[in-house]
Structure 1
Amino acid sequence: MTPLSILDLSFIRETGSASEALSESRLMARKAETLDFQRYWVAEHHGMPGIASAATGVVIGALAAATNHIRVGAGGIMLPNHAPLVIAEQFGTLEALYPGRIDLGLGRAPGSDQRTLRALRRNREGAERFPQEVLELLAYFEGDESKTGIIATPGAGADIPVWLLGSSLFSAELAAALGLPFAFASHFAPQMMEEAIALYRERFQPSSRLAAPYVMLAMNIISADTDEEADYLASSRRLYTAALRQGTPGRFPPPVAAQDLPWGPEISRQFDETFSTSLVGTAERVAEGLVSFVERHHPDELMIALPIYNLAPRLHALDLARKAGRIAGLV
């Protein structure tokens, strides 16, 4: 069995609002819970007009309040943007409010451009201090005042699973050294996935938090009742990614017909690489892709993103993703 989880970027539609995006995230989380998905994560991004989850801890609290038992967490918090004590207190508070349901994934990238980084009152050196700040954060959760000189309240003694996230070898090696679970961002940066997870598994050191390596891999699933409809829905993410690559991020665009996609062969080749871990099609076709992916990479868990413009087909795709998991024998 391979647990299935959900990653939600709370996309703001081209004709929508942040309020609508967050409301739809609540509905998606409730639906994911009824379908017995393992966990539901949101991510920290700043200065992005198309993503509503910048205040990630606040969003997690809202999602946890809207559900009953599904795990809710950050995929992830960009630790260079924050003092470790603040994150310990925030997630300690969430754990106190929703015990046994909160996850904390940590990323090293700032999740923003340099202007936004300055606005956050952070600097470029934050990423270089990432290993030390992870250790500081873990010490706050452990309540080890000898290491920190202060007790995080709430936070000390909180039983919060801490994950390291990454799209390169750095976080894979750090997660292995610290004995933490590792989530690879293969949904948007699959290029180093195989090397990173091999390094993590080879160098993993057991810890009080984790006895054996645990790998989560992310992928996009865009599923519909026909392959043609799924491919049409997938055009939204292609357009959104193209805008990001061109340095003009905007709101999440509606889908368009294939002949209306505004790019040439070079951009298409880039998409072929970027979308190598995306599954687009019917539940049966997605199931075939899941079987192949799991047999090749042996993830302990899969995290699924469903970048679909309108809520109704997104909810339907959630049903179809669960169906595909059953067909593939994963759940």
Structure 2
Amino acid sequence: MRRCFSKITDCYLGFKNSNFFLVGSEVGSGSVTRTITTTSERSFSTSYAAHQVDQTKDSPVSDMLIDSFGRLHTYLRISLTERCNLRCQYCMPSEGVELTPKPQLLSQSEIVRLAGLFVSAGVNKIRLTGGEPTIRNDIEEICLQLSSLKGLKNLAITTNGITLAKKLPKLQECGLDSLNISLDTLVPAKFEFLTRRKGHDRVMKSIDTAIELGYNPVKVNCVVMRGLNDDEICDFVELTREKPINVRFIEFMPFDGNVWNVKKLVPYAEVMDKVVSLRDPLRSGADDEALREIIGAAVKRKKAAHAGMLDIAKTANRPMIHIGG
């Protein structure tokens, strides 16, 4: 029986004008996105239980990852880039967004160092997101170094699949354990409308390549939008009948209609002032213990549930691409 879950998204360990780290438990308090995972059995269930601390785990855990409610957070998301080769209508405006200057982005070595701190404290799963993570030139080396971290049990990626087919064999060699491919429609013309780009055939090829390479299951994320692709739900479920595919239907919950009105956007710098920066102390020479204290303090500030949901309703829009996946 597969389960419906919502991932903790209320604790960002971010980097001003740079990459994002999000730390949380796989199953946690409610968030703005609800997910249904389905297999060919078409079974559904729900769970919103918090992931409580289990000291019987074989990997050592640090108090740094335990929040004030006793929950252990062992799942880390790393947004490698804001850049993307698609322009999905619910993610960014057609003209794109102003990108962060490259010098302000975390380097490969900085990402690996910070990830190492999290893993040494008890994180056992890392997911690479974006933007589109596969367009980062050093993605293979990042995977190789992260997969070598002692204590890491799963290295995953969320990708739109446009360039994945060509890169996946090497990524697998570098330690990529699992993947989620975003695909909102099985109709090529509709794909071009939703993403403002061609490439439906390349995404389907990436799914087939992942299956051929032995990824089981291949997880497909589908954002369901009324009047656009809600008529394809059964078609997506049919994909799972004879192939090792799990389709995750993600409920689209627009705020203010997701209208891209520049006047309504909260300035990026203003938003980032509320995010814990690890990049700045890292580059200022902070040692590992100082970084652990910053991380631990951020985790301790996590809310019991629905953190910031009332404030979200009052907040003007900003592109999803700047939020990080």
TM range (shorter): 0.3 to 0.5
How does the TM-score come out when normalised to structure 1?
A: 0.40
